[in-house]
Structure 1
Amino acid sequence: MRPIILASASPRRADLLRQLGLTFSVFPVDIDERPTPNEAAAHYVERLAREKAFAGLKLAVDPKSLVIGSDTSVVRDGDILGKPDGKEQAAEMLASLSGRSHKVMTAVALAGEHGCFARVSTTEVRFRALSESEIRAYCDTGEPMDKAGAYGIQGRGGAFVSGLWGSYSAVVGLPLDDVAALLAEAGQPVWMVWNQSGEKLG
């Protein structure tokens, strides 16, 4: 089995990879995450996922390593909503999502000696109508500060979601179906590691 590296400091992405039963190393990478002028959201998240995967590959000791890079953006009316700069911007983002639908685009890239391949997952998420008081209370928890679109569906922000069409794990930060497909295409399907320790689940 080739070593797997997650090129991300996100604890949510690490938790999702563990959910697949994978053993991996975490190599946080630092890249310029600013979109280029008029860059489409799908192109933007895929570009960043690829750049993160390549940056992680440069840090790998074993040349046969497989490196996973990922990026998530919340897209409202074609506008990319990144991580908020502070409480005020977080509140503005949440107010703009209140009572309506938006898209969450998450790209995952797998880089290795085989090259780099990527997939983009698009999920539609609908928020119920939010009051100003609950928006403020949520921002005061600090949870929105490091999350695209200023909410975490796996945390308190899940209370805002009234509907979801697509991949839940992609909204959290990593589309597990795409990760499994990319690893299988690289000759390392995730099921090969299941039950190697004899562990019983469920």
Structure 2
Amino acid sequence: MSFQIILGSASMARRQLLKEMGYEFSLMTADIDERSIRKEKPEELADAIISRLKSRGQLEESTEEKLLITADTVVVSKGMIREKPSSKEEARDFIKGYSGSQAAVVGSVLVTNLKTGKRKGGWERAEVYFHDIPDEVIDTLVEEAITLNVAGGLTLENPLILRFVEAVIGTGDAVMGLPKALTERLIQEAL
């Protein structure tokens, strides 16, 4: 079956993971404050992107099915949700909190068939256990602007932090924001 994929995310990690899955895709982001909708309905992110596609005339009838993939990731550490840090100080606090401890990562994926309206969603959880992270490593990580652009302030694939990861329970791709097996299953279910 022939279909197009639109990835509704600006995440470099999600782009890489979808490429690794063998898919070609286009990008579209919602340009909305995800924090403001997180506690309501995850479908609102997809709806915002669908609205943008309609306003641009990109949802015209076609014989080919189009799938919109949206995803969200939150980190939970010491009972607190850790979204994208709002400042370098908050990023530093987040990372210090992981030192010698652990964090849970919950990633959700929603696949919307733009032709039929069918939606399939799911989530996956992984846990990351950390060795003690030295202050100088935390300082270096915080100075990298990436810490302000990712949930929890850390990217697992960063070589600087990787050596302080004791164990990952679950899949690395779930931690990176797009669980491959879950996403593949949802794509097939949405078709």
Compute the TM-score of the two structures, normalised by the length of structure 1.
0.81
RMSD: 1.9
Alignment-derived partner of residue 73 in structure 2? 72
Q: Which of 164, 167, 171 lines up with 1:160 in the alignment?
A: 164
Q: Write the distance in 2 (CA, Å) between the matches of 1:141 and 1:30.
A: 23
Please state if 1:169 is matched with 2:164.
Answer: no
Per the alignment, in what secondary structure is the counterpart of residue 66 of structure 1?
strand
Displacement over 6 Å in runs of 4+: none
Q: Which of 122, 127, 130 lines up with 2:130 in the alignment?
A: 127
Q: Write the distance in 1 (CA, Å) between the matches of 2:173 and 2:60.
A: 29
Please state if 1:27 is matched with 2:20.
Answer: no
Per the alignment, in what secondary structure is the counterpart of residue 35 of structure 2?
coil
Alignment-derived partner of residue 12 in structure 2? 11
Alignment-derived partner of residue 44 in structure 2? 51
Q: Which runs of 5+ in 2 are unaligned?
A: none
Q: What is the aligned-residue identity percentage?
A: 31
Q: CA deviation at 1:107?
A: 0.2
Contact 2:120 2:189 in 1 (8 A): no
Q: Write the distance in 2 (CA, Å) between the matches of 1:10 and 1:46.
A: 22
How many corresponding residue pairs?
A: 179
Per the alignment, in what secondary structure is the counterpart of residue 34 of structure 2?
coil
Q: Write the distance in 2 (CA, Å) between the matches of 1:169 and 1:163.
A: 14
Q: Write the distance in 2 (CA, Å) between the matches of 1:45 and 1:157.
A: 30
Per the alignment, in what secondary structure is the counterpart of residue 9 of structure 2?
coil
Per the alignment, in what secondary structure is the counterpart of residue 65 of structure 1?
strand
Alignment-derived partner of residue 196 in structure 1? none
Per the alignment, in what secondary structure is the counterpart of residue 31 of structure 1?
coil
Question: What amino acid sits opposite 1:158 in the alignment?
Answer: L
Contact 1:87 1:139 in 2 (8 A): yes
Contact 1:46 1:71 in 2 (8 A): no
Contact 1:53 1:67 in 2 (8 A): yes
Q: Which runs of 5+ in 1 are unaligned?
A: 37-43, 188-202
Q: Write the distance in 2 (CA, Å) between the matches of 1:93 and 1:9.
A: 22
Structure 2 vs 1, CA of residues 158 and 23 (structure 1 numbering), >3 Å: closer, same or farther?
same
